[in-house]
């Protein structure tokens, strides 16, 4: 009888010590912590993570009754493999986004193409960084993906590029991060309006600032089937840790163009930060995620990445897609080395069912 009861307790999960940090637990309608045993329960947990993200980013504005995008082409550049358009569009009333839009040439117009949202890192040049104008030769991901035959959209982040004069004090968003998420989702909307784009084969990629923003938009936009983050994250407990100097270690995230509720609603030491990056990665499952996390990245500690990947992998395993979570730890600094970039592109090709054209990747 005793053995029988032990088996029943085990099957029902009774007696287990549940940990709120475990991604396979959720809070039920009575506020009690419960184990995730079904996909429906995972969806509850997933939405709870999105709620936690919005606690510090601010709410995602409604996507109901959105206005026409009003796309305007300001300039264009024709190469042997694509046309690069400089465009501006309206994500909402009295708002605008400036982008590069790359459309491959010489393709079979009867077949739809996959598309990528490419997000640049921190820098005054904005979208021009991913077009090859960076002093670092490993930043031209938008151009490289266009050469491989992808339709690519690369927007400016608010306060950079042609958005350098963006006024965060006058907008409707709680944070620059949420403004960017909304912009990036509208970029996906724009891609879906294009006859040449297959709406079921769209992904996102970014480096550094663009790395974590590709993850953020991927969390909120399930249309993105593959997300690549280069040098974009580590758990908050590993961020900017310096012996004896940890009181204000999250202060860089508190800038108005990121999450200014830090220092107002939440503390700089990270003890009450409402979400973490393993949770963001978990929201992407069962979709595909690839992380480039160099071992000498001074911004995002790779040792923390290993902890975060181990945590998030439980969700990918639970959803029976363990191979959809990939990470590389190159012997490099805050960079996207050629060999890892090629692996990331091959990963994107596989997920989006794309046979790439030959491209020059230095």
Average pLDDT of the chain?
Answer: 93
Which of 19-28, 194-203, 226-235, 241-250 is predicted least confidently?
Answer: 241-250
Model confidence at 128: pLDDT above 90: yes
Model confidence at 11: pLDDT above 60: no
Query: Are 340 and 292 spatial neighbours (Cβ–Cβ below 8 Å)?
Result: yes
Residue 346: its pLDDT value, please?
97
Residue 5: its pLDDT value, please?
38
Residue 340: its pLDDT value, please?
98
What does the alpha-carbon distance between residue 200 and residue 183 come to, in Å, rounded to a whole number?
Answer: 20
Average pLDDT on 73-102 reads 97
Q: Partners of 98 in the beta sheet?
A: 88
Query: Are 282 and 233 spatial neighbours (Cβ–Cβ below 8 Å)?
Result: no
Model confidence at 305: pLDDT above 60: yes
Peptide bond into 286 cis (omega under 30): yes
pLDDT confidence bin for 13, thresholds 50/70/90: very low
What residues contact 310, with CB distance under 8 A and at least 6 apart?
A: none
Model confidence at 1: pLDDT above 50: no
DSSP letter at 242 equals -
What residues contact 41, with CB distance under 8 A and at least 6 apart?
A: 26, 34
Which of 89-98, 159-168, 241-250 is predicted least confidently?
Answer: 241-250
Note the pLDDT tens digit of each residue in 46-66.
999 999 999 999 999 999 999
Note the pLDDT tens digit of each residue in 225-274.
999 999 999 999 999 887 656 668 899 999 999 999 998 999 998 889 99
Q: Return the closest-CA partner of residue 42 out of 304, 296, 345, 282.
A: 282
pLDDT confidence bin for 25, thresholds 50/70/90: very high
Helices (H) and strands (E) in the chain, counts: 8, 11
Report CA-CA distances (Å) from 301 to 55, 234, 280, 305, 352: 25, 6, 17, 7, 30
Model confidence at 14: pLDDT above 50: no
Residue 242: its pLDDT value, please?
78
Residue 248: its pLDDT value, please?
85
Query: Are 75 and 84 spatial neighbours (Cβ–Cβ below 8 Å)?
Result: no
Average pLDDT on 7-35 reads 72
What residues contact 272, with CB distance under 8 A and at least 6 apart?
A: 266
Residue 109: its pLDDT value, please?
78
Residue 107: its pLDDT value, please?
86
Residue 362: its pLDDT value, please?
58
């Amino acid at each position: 009888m005793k053995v029988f009861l032990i088996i029943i307790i085990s099957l029902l999960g009774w007696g287990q010590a549940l940990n709120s940090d475990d991604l396979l637990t959720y809070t039920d309608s009575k506020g009690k912590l419960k184990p995730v045993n079904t996909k429906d329960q995972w969806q509850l947990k997933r939405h709870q993570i999105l709620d936690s993200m919005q606690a510090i980013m601010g709410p995602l504005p409604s996507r109901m009754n959105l206005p026409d995008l009003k796309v305007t082409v300001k300039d264009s550049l024709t190469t042997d493999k694509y046309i690069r358009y400089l465009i501006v569009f309206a994500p909402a009333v009295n708002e605008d986004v400036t982008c590069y839009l790359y459309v491959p040439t010489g393709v079979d117009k009867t077949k739809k193409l996959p598309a990528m949202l490419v997000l640049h890192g921190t820098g005054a040049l904005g979208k021009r960084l991913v077009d090859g104008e960076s002093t670092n030769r490993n930043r031209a991901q938008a151009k490289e993906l266009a050469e491989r035959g992808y339709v690519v959209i690369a927007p400016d982040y608010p306060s950079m590029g042609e958005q350098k004069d963006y006024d965060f004090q006058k907008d409707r968003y709680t944070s620059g991060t949420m403004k960017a998420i909304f912009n990036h989702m509208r970029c996906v909307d724009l891609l879906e309006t294009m006859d040449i784009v297959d709406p079921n084969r769209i992904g996102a990629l970014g480096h550094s600032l663009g790395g974590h923003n590709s993850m953020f938009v991927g969390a909120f936009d399930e249309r993105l089937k593959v997300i690549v983050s280069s040098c974009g994250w580590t758990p908050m407990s590993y961020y900017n840790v310096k012996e004896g100097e940890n009181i204000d270690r999250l202060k860089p995230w508190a800038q108005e163009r990121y999450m200014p509720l830090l220092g107002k609603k939440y503390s700089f030491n990270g003890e009450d930060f409402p979400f973490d990056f393993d949770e963001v990665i978990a929201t992407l499952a069962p979709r595909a995620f690839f992380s480039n996390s160099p071992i000498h990245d001074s911004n995002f500690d790779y040792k923390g990445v290993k902890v975060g990947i181990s945590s998030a992998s439980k969700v990918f395993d639970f959803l029976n897609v363990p191979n959809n979570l990939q990470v590389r730890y190159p012997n490099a600094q805050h960079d996207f080395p050629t060999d890892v970039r090629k692996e990331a592109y091959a990963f994107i090709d596989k997920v989006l069912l794309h046979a790439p054209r030959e491209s020059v990747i230095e």
